[in-house]
Structure 1
C-alpha cells in the first residue's frame, strides 16, 4: 500500500451512519492524526535521547474526513499493529476504548537519519578497506534492511567480499576483517597476563564476531572474538586459588 492513499480499516463497530450524527457525536479526524503523531514522537524520543546525532522525521498520512466514527468518551490511544516495523512507509493503530469501542489504522512514514559509514570511492571485491576510502554521512537508515555501521574502525582493514560503489553504506556483511584461511595473531588474556600466539581462521568474521581458530602449534580449535584486521582475542579463565 502506498503512503498517502486512503488507509483506514474499521475493525469494530463504531460507525455513525451516513448523514446522521453531528459534530458532537462524531470523532474529530484531526484528533486521530494528532494521537498517531504524539504516540510516534513518544515512541522514538528515548532512541533520540540515547544518541547525540540520530534524527527521526515523522509524517502522519491523511485520514478520510468523511469518516464517521462515534466520538470517543475516553482519550484516544495509539498502538503498534502486530508484525509492523515502524520504519519507512507503515501504519499505526489508533483505538477508542470507551462506551463505544473501535480501532483503525492510520498511514505513517518514519524516516530515521543517523551518521553512517559510507564509501567515498568505488572499490573492487578483494580490496583492503582503508580509512581514506570511507566517510561519515547522515543517511536515512530506515530505507535499508541491513544493519549499517557508524564507526570506521568496524570495517577498516577488512577485505571486501563484494564491489562497493560511491555513497553506499558500509555493512559488516560486505567484508571480512578475518577471512577463512588467514594467518592470525591470537591474543589470549585475562586480568593478570596476556600471551600472543599464531592461529589460522577457519571461517570469515567481522568486527566483534566470534570465529573458530586453529592454534598453529597445538592444532587445537578455539573460539576468539575479532578485534582488528587478522587479530582475535581469547579470554582466559583465572584458576581458583587453593
Structure 2
C-alpha cells in the first residue's frame, strides 16, 4: 500500500517549483507595478507644474521601463538642466533609493502636450506691410506640433513690418517680421543728450536704419560720429 502513495507524491512534486515560481512572479510584478504607479504620478505632477507655466496641459504620458525601475524606492523626479523644452518629448531624471540604501539616478522619457494660443493673420499680406491690430487674430493649437518660433502675443508685433508674404490662418513666425525703422540712413534726425539734471538736443545725419530701441550711428555737424538709441521717429537719445 505504501508504494502507490509514494508514486502519487512523486507525480505531484514536478508541479511544486512551477507553483512557487508563479507565486514569486506575482509578488514581484505587484511590487514593480506599485513602484511604477508612484513614479508615474510624481513625474506627471512635475511635468504638469512646469508645462502649466507655458499653457494648458492637455496630457502627459510617462514611459517607465519596468526592468529599470523595479527597485526604485521613494522616487524623486527632476528635470535635467540641459536647456530642453518642457513640452513634447521630455527627458526626466529620477533619484532612487536602491538595494542597500544606495542612492541612484536613472532617466526616463515622457510626452507632454500643451494647448496654447498663437497669432495668425486674418488675410494675406504682402511683403513690407505694416502690421495693424485688425490684421491679427488668435488661434489655438498643440504647442509640440507648432514651429518653435511662433508668435503668441499680438500686441508685441503691432507696427512691425512683414519681411515676406504672410498667408492667412498660418502660424505667424518671428523671422517673418521686423520692427519698423523709425530712423533711416541719410535722414536728418534729432539727437538728445541726457545727463544728471540736463538735456541738450542737436541735429545730425543718420548713418544707419534703426527701429525702436536699436543703436544707430549719426554724424554731427563737427563730423564727429556718435551712437544713439532710437526713441521715436527721427529721434535718438544719448545717455551720458
Which has the higher relative contact order, 1 or 2, with Cα contacts under 8 A spaced 6 or more apart? 1
What residue in structure 1 maps to residue 42 of structure 2? 35
Which structure carries more strand by proportion?
2
Which structure carries more helix by proportion?
2
| 8 Å contact from structure 1 (residues 214, 221) kept in 2 | yes
Structure 1 unpaired stretches of 5+: 1-17, 49-53, 238-242
- When residues 184 and 162 of structure 1 are mapped into structure 2, their CA distance, relative to the original with a 3 A threshold, is farther
Match of 1:134 among 136, 144, 150: 136
Deviations 1:177-212 (A, max 9, x none): 127637374452536436364542525x5544x232
What residue in structure 1 maps to residue 110 of structure 2? 107
Deviations 1:124-176 (A, max 9, x none): 11233333323355565553322636243x44343322111213325376224
What residue in structure 2 maps to residue 4 of structure 1? none
Match of 1:200 among 200, 206, 231: 206
| 8 Å contact from structure 2 (residues 91, 110) kept in 1 | yes
Secondary structure of the residue aligned to 1:28 is: helix
Partners of 2:150 and 2:234 lie apart in 1 by 23
Q: TM-score, normalised by structure 2?
A: 0.64
Secondary structure of the residue aligned to 1:95 is: strand
Deviations 1:95-148 (A, max 9, x none): 23313435131222242625x543222111123333332335556555332263
What residue in structure 2 maps to residue 123 of structure 1? 125
Query: How many residues were matched structurally?
Result: 207
- When residues 64 and 99 of structure 1 are mapped into structure 2, their CA distance, relative to the original with a 3 A threshold, is closer
Structure 2 unpaired stretches of 5+: 1-23
What residue in structure 1 maps to residue 78 of structure 2? 79
- When residues 64 and 129 of structure 1 are mapped into structure 2, their CA distance, relative to the original with a 3 A threshold, is closer
Kindly report the root-mean-square deviation, in angstroms, between the aligned alpha carbons of the 2 structures: 3.8
